[in-house]
Chains A and B, each alone.
Chain A
């Protein structure tokens, strides 16, 4: 084990790299928060400050006055939660079967995943629109959820296949030796070990659907059904002009649910549950 120890300077370097990465990741978000609380003249200052000199909630008031943010957030939440739950419900058994019973099915599924990720939105949007129209699912959240499920399913499947492969088959065999049936093994042995993978996959599907813009823009016609990313564009004008303060305020609020969901679920993603489960 001593070979894995890192020397002092190397460790310092690692932490510095990690810090730089964190700053890189956090910068846009912190700037967004700072902008959300700045009054209009401060937004056009040549020497912008991190901390607003004259902080205001005016941008939030204006954002809520001008756009139905709450209704849009509820629509987004329904679409994202539904899409995440359905995607996980479909992908989990499929991933288990594909990962455990290797053969042509597994190769075909992997191939399908890779190919499906290569299609750009614009290529599929018109045929998809026509299909949903024939099913009377245009301008419905159900239609949007179906699209999100289909869109995130390949990657969700791929993710989960990796997690299933990481669960040692020996554990299931041991359960079988102890007299557990197929269902009991799946429920009591495999499912708990897969939980971090399922949570991570659900998070992925949730965040993808929560942030998705183009399908929602095209499929939902009435203002009452529009989702948050679509409503956020209403603060944008032509040629890149934007109502920056209210846009930042609304965008800041839009990021909160993702952060909350992540904070609630992150403990369940932690790995290490299977460390030492089998001797290798």
Chain B
């Protein structure tokens, strides 16, 4: 009995010790919680160093750095907002902000941001975080990632195909032809390109902009409807033909994430892999010794190299009592020289024009120059601010694109599902 009592007492002590308050002494110091989603070592280090620099020079406004996770950020923020316990400063991506902005959980940054920051980031980037009829700005877009083609340099050179540059990219039909040439050169078991299409909707829509595809059209009455035109069919049609008709892209990677295609890429089974710009970090880290790779721009269409992106964002919680101080921190955090550090840490491109001009982001090494050249052509991802888009994406578009790319349905059926089923979903969200 005595042992049980002792154990119970120890447990009680342990738990009370753990609950000792998290409120600091009332010393007039403003403490702001900054939840960052940086996760790779270089990126976390860059974030922490900037927070430390701020804390050292601003004793009255201290930032507490908290690491969150991309995997669970939406659910966590949703719960924290509802419970009134959200972090003051929030790192997220523009395609995740719509619900929080419309729900009144994020502060409209227009009266808070400095003129310097506002002028430094181009209007097309601000568009990605602008929501509602009042055109409120609910986040600062600061890092972005175009989709590029990462290629095996040796295979490319030995095949003799024309190597594209941002100034003279491949067209989509040329890309298809080159894929055939490469596959022929590589011999049995080789494929010119491996498309990791676990998330087929964002790839199809974002790259679709290059051919003038829009899919989502805002009508005069403000409603959004889906139309699938010839331009919308160019990119999905090319991917479909590569996989189903030409067999220059393997069917097996259609359900894969980007990382899953790397073993085949390193082994010379695939000559090219279309991936997000930040995957270069993983490739640099994992590539076998002597493996040579290069970064190429994605193919261009009628709209050139245009493609959609959903930049990473920094927002301020509407419930935060210290919005002014939080905005001052953002202004410091996103100074051009700091944006460069953050971009290099995440292997991404900064949105700020001054940061983007930094020479370290224009070197040929690791393909930085290709990304920087494409940056001017990046546009807001289509439909990210359309209400009902997440449901359309999950229930209608993802299965439709997956079936189309695997050859299970034809383009007519794809069109029918995207348009007819899709408009039914959107209509529910747009009832007045």
Q: Complex: how many Å from CA A40 to CA B259?
A: 12
| Chain B, 242-301, CB within 8 A of any chain A CB | 257-259, 262-264, 266-267, 269, 276, 279, 282, 285-289
With A125-B79, A222-B64: A241-B257 Cβ-Cβ less than 8 Å: yes
- Do A41 and B286 have beta carbons less than 8 Å apart? yes
Q: Which residue of B lies closest to A131 (CB)?
A: B83
Do residues B79 and A142 form an inter-chain contact, with CB atoms below 8 A? no
Does B220 belong to the interface (CB within 8 Å)?
no
Cα of A86 to Cα of B257 in the assembled complex, Å? 43
Tell whether A2 is near chain B: CB-to-CB under 8 Å: no
Partner of B83 from A45, A81, A138, A141 at Cβ < 8 Å: A138
Answer whether residue B71 sits at the interface, using C-beta atoms and an 8 A cutoff: yes
Please state if A234 and B259 are interface contacts (CB–CB under 8 Å).
no
Asked whether A145 is an interface residue with its Cβ less than 8 Å from the other chain, the reply is: yes
Interface-lining segment among B15-23, B175-183, B233-241, B325-333: B15-23
Count of residues in A whose CB is under 8 Å from the partner chain: 52
Q: Which residues of A contact B41 (CB under 8 A)?
A: 62, 65-66
Chain B nearest CB from A80 CB (Å) reads: 12
User: Would B70 and A66 count as touching, CB distance under 8 A?
Assistant: no
Dominant secondary structure at the A interface:
helix
Is there contact, CB below 8 Å, between A129 and B82? yes
Q: Please name all residues of chain B whose beta carbon is closer than 8 Å to the beta carbon of A105 when the two chains form the complex.
A: none
Annotate B176-216 by CB proximity to A: 1 below 8 A, 0 otherwise: 00000000000000000000001100000000000000000
B282 x A241 contact (CB < 8 A):
yes
- Say whether B67 faces chain A, with CB atoms less than 8 Å apart: yes
**A138 proximity list for chain B (CB < 8 A):** 83, 85
| CA distance in complex: A85, B15 (Å) | 13
Question: Which of A28-36, A213-221, A269-277 is near enough to bind chain B?
Answer: A213-221
Query: Looking at the complex, which one of B16, B264, B276, B279 makes contact with A142 (CB distance below 8 Å)?
Result: B16
A160 smallest CB distance to B (angstroms):
18
A177 at the B interface (CB under 8 A): no
Please tell me if the beta carbons of B14 and A82 are within 8 angstroms of each other in the complex.
Answer: yes
In this complex, how many residues of chain B approach chain A with their Cβ under 8 Å: the count is: 51
- How near does chain A come to B66, taking the closest CB pair, in angstroms? 6
A235 beta carbon closer than 8 Å to chain B: yes
Among the listed A129, A145, A221, A238, which residue makes an inter-chain contact with B33, where contact means beta carbons less than 8 Å apart?
Answer: A221
Nearest-CB distance from B88 to chain A (Å)? 11
Which residues on the B side are within 8 Å of A66 (C-beta)? 41, 44
**Chain B residues within an 8 Å CB radius of A62:** 41
Interface residues in A46-104 (C-beta closer than 8 Å to B): 46-48, 62, 65-66, 75, 78, 81-82, 85-86
Tell me how far the C-beta of B316 lies from the nearest C-beta in chain A, rounded to whole angstroms. Answer: 17
Q: Is the CB of A141 within 8 A of B18?
A: yes
A236 to B72, CA, bound (A): 10
Task: Digitize A204-233: 1 where CB-to-B-CB distance is under 8 Å, 0 elsewhere.
Answer: 000000000110011001110100001001
Asked whether any CB of chain A lies closer than 8 Å to the CB of B7, the reply is: yes
A214–B22 CB distance below 8 A:
no
Q: Is the beta-carbon distance between B198 and A240 smaller than 8 angstroms?
A: yes
CB within 8 Å for A46 and B85 given contacts A82-B14, A85-B11, A237-B70: no
- Taken together as a complex, chains A and B put the C-alpha atoms of A143 and B16 apart, in Å, by 11
Q: Which of A43, A230, A237 contacts B40 (CB 8 A)?
A: A237
Chain A residues lying within 8 Å of B67, measured Cβ to Cβ, are 223, 234
Query: Does B76 sit at the interface, judged by CB under 8 A?
Result: yes
Given contacts A66-B44, A223-B66, A236-B69, contact A140 B18 (CB under 8 A): yes
Residues of B within 8 A of A225 (CB): 18
Whether a CB of chain A sits under 8 angstroms from the CB of B363 is no
Tell me the nearest residue of chain B to A225, going by C-beta: B18
Interchain nearest-CB distance for B144 vs A (Å): 13
Q: What is the CA–CA distance of A81 and B33 in the complex, to the nearest angstrom? A: 30
| B274 CB, min distance to chain A CBs, angstroms | 13
- Interchain CA distance A225-B21 in the complex, whole Å: 12
A233-B71 contact in complex given A223-B66, A239-B258, C-beta closer than 8 Å? yes
Asked whether, in the complex, the Cβ of B15 is within 8 Å of the Cβ of A239, the reply is no
Residue of A nearest to B286 (CB): A44
Chain A, residues 7-49, CB within 8 Å of chain B (1/0): the string is 0000000000000000000000000000000001101111110
B7, B71, B80: residue with the most chain A Cβ atoms closer than 10 Å: B71
Decide yes or no whether B93 CB sits under 8 A from chain A: yes
Q: Which residues of B contact A237 (CB under 8 A)?
A: 39-40, 70
The yes or no answer to B104 lying at the interface (CB within 8 A) is: no
Complexed CA–CA distance, A159 and B265 (Å): 51
Would you call B85 and A221 a contact (CB within 8 A)?
yes
CA distance A230 to B277 in the complex (A): 27
CA of A181 to CA of B159, assembled, Å: 91
- A130 adjacent to chain B (CB < 8 Å): yes
Nearest residue in A to B80 (C-beta to C-beta)?
A: A218
Question: In whole angstroms, what is the CA distance A140 to B65 when docked?
Answer: 18
A214-B73 Cα distance, complex, nearest whole Å: 11
* C-alpha gap A201/B67 in the complex (Å): 34
| Contact call B259/A241, Cβ cutoff below 8 A | yes
Q: Which B77-105 residues have a C-beta within 8 angstroms of A?
A: 79-80, 82-85, 87, 93
Chain B residues within an 8 Å CB radius of A41 = 266, 286-289
Residue among B79, B259, B279 with most chain A CB within 10 A: B79
With A78-B18, A145-B15 as known contacts, state yes or no: A85 contacts B70, CB within 8 Å.
Answer: no
Bound: A230/B73 CA distance, A? 12
Query: In this assembly, does B75 line the interface, its C-beta being within 8 Å of a C-beta of chain A?
Result: yes
A110 on the B face (CB < 8 A): no
7 interchain residue pairs of minimum CB distance: A141-B18, A233-B69, A46-B267, A44-B286, A140-B19, A129-B83, A238-B70
Q: A41-B288, A142-B15 are in contact. List 15 more A-B contacts (CB 8 A).
A: A45-B263, A65-B41, A75-B18, A82-B11, A85-B7, A129-B82, A221-B66, A221-B85, A222-B22, A234-B67, A236-B69, A237-B40, A238-B37, A240-B257, A241-B257
B interface list, Cβ under 8 A from A: 7, 11, 14-16, 18-19, 22, 33, 37, 39-41, 44, 64-67, 69-72, 75-76, 79-80, 82-85, 87, 93, 198-199, 257-259, 262-264, 266-267, 269, 276, 279, 282, 285-289
A-B contact pairs, 26 of them (CB 8 A): A41-B286, A44-B286, A45-B266, A46-B266, A46-B269, A48-B263, A81-B11, A82-B11, A122-B75, A129-B79, A129-B85, A133-B84, A139-B22, A141-B19, A217-B76, A221-B33, A221-B87, A222-B22, A222-B64, A222-B66, A234-B39, A236-B69, A236-B70, A238-B93, A239-B258, A242-B259
